[in-house]
Structure 1
Amino acid sequence: MSVVETLREFSEVWKLFSEIPDDATLNVELASLYLGISVKSLARYRQNGGGPAYIQYQVENSKARNQRVNYLLKDLRAWRDNHKVQNTMHAAQIRGLTFTSLTDLCEPHPFWLSNFSGQKIISHALTTSDDLFRKLLSEPNVDIVWISVEQAIFKEWENKNERIIWHNIFITILNNLSYASEAAQERYTMNDVLGN
């Protein structure tokens, strides 16, 4: 079952979140669903920092590394609200989608894909607004595919303005790497000339 199908099955859960009290605890799966990020992303936030505050219960006489983790709904709401953005480039920076290497461009990312119009990319799933996310979620001919930015920019896009953002990111990274390589090469050349 695809991620979109799973989310569609749980569409009633979205309504329930508004009725849950702020001090209610949610397990990792529900926290992931509420925030719209993967369980693995939450685990990375717990390991590396920057994510929502969480509660970790220590199990007596256990040396296991993965103890039971829960989140308070109010902490999830606060963390989510601190990540509101004004445009897609700001969203890319907030969501960690600022790329610095070729490897970053080759990692799989979630992109919305329309099967209705000949499999065209709609947008990066992490940079769409909540309203558009919900709308796309209800579309039967739309799915999420995990592909690299490199693959995405060579696919057909529904909206040229959405594509240009990723084109510019791709070109900027390539140019920056080219300049960095040129600078490193010049340093070696200068060392040879100066006898260092």
Structure 2
Amino acid sequence: MNVVETLRDLSEVWKLFSEIPDDATLSVDLAALYLGISVKSLARYRQKGGGPQYIQYQSEDSKARNQRINYLLGDLRNWRETHKVKDTIHAAQVRGLTFASLGDFTEPQPFWLLHNVNDSHNKILSHALTTPDADFKALLLKKNATVVWFSVEEALFMNWVSVYERLKWNNLLNEVLKHIIKSSNVAQEKHLLNAYLNSIDM
């Protein structure tokens, strides 16, 4: 049983989080859950920077990759506070959730998926990193809700609970496509102009 499944069974988990003091330490799994990101994403933040501060216990007889990593809850709270977003477009500007190229839309992203026993098709509810805190907490307690990783490209061809939630990501993809097309056209005009000027010089 993974961490999300375990904590979903604890109805008081978020109440406990609110009662835990800032100087309490959390494991990597719990830190990732609290932030709403994957353990792998949290590891990338440690490697590349930009993530919350963490504690790494040094040990002379252990390899660095085997050393235990912990996070202070207060540091996680502060980091989350700086990454609050107003809407999906704003969310796209947050470090770790930036869409500037088509490749960004093929990278795995965490989405809340709802399993409907009366329907053979699962439905996407929202992107986990743009889900409001209150909704995120409520979803943790739902038996039919899980965080699943797939690309935005894949997500757009799946069923969604809300057409308006899907529309945000559809519009975001369209905005990036428009920017790429415009940039490509500008580059093409530049190449044509250079070719024309070079032909005159010859």
TM-score (normalizing by structure 1): 0.85
State whether structure 2 residue 10 is matched by structure 1 residue 34: no
Distance 1:25 1:4 in 2: 18
Paired residues, what number? 196
Partner of 2:43: 43
Aligned with 1:158: secondary structure? coil
The CA deviation at 1:75 is: 1.3
State how 1:8-157 maps to structure 2 within 5 Å: 8-9=8-9, 11-60=11-60, 64=64, 67-94=67-94, 96-116=96-116, 118-157=121-160
Q: Tell me which moved more, 64-73 or 169-178.
A: 64-73
The gaps in structure 2 that reach 5 residues or longer are none
Which residue is equivalent to 1:169?
172
Superposition deviation, residue 104 in structure 1: 0.6
Runs of 4+ more than 4 Å apart: 1-4
Deviations 1:105-135 (A, max 9, x none): 1112122222325422211111111111122
Q: 1:86 to 1:174 in 2, by over 3 A?
A: closer
* 1:178-193 correspondence to structure 2 within 5 Å: 178-193=181-196
Q: Give the TM-score of the pair, scaled to structure 2.
A: 0.83
CA 1:54–1:2 in 2, change beyond 3 Å: closer, same or farther? closer
Deviations 1:119-169 (A, max 9, x none): 222111111111111222233333333221112112222212111110111
Summarize the Cα distance change of 1:57–1:142 in structure 2 as closer, same or farther, 3 Å threshold: closer
RMSD between superposed Cα atoms in Å: 2.4
Contact 2:89–2:172 (CA under 8 A) maintained in structure 1: no
2: CA distance, partners of 1:60 / 1:23: 26
Deviation, structure 1 residue 24: 2.1
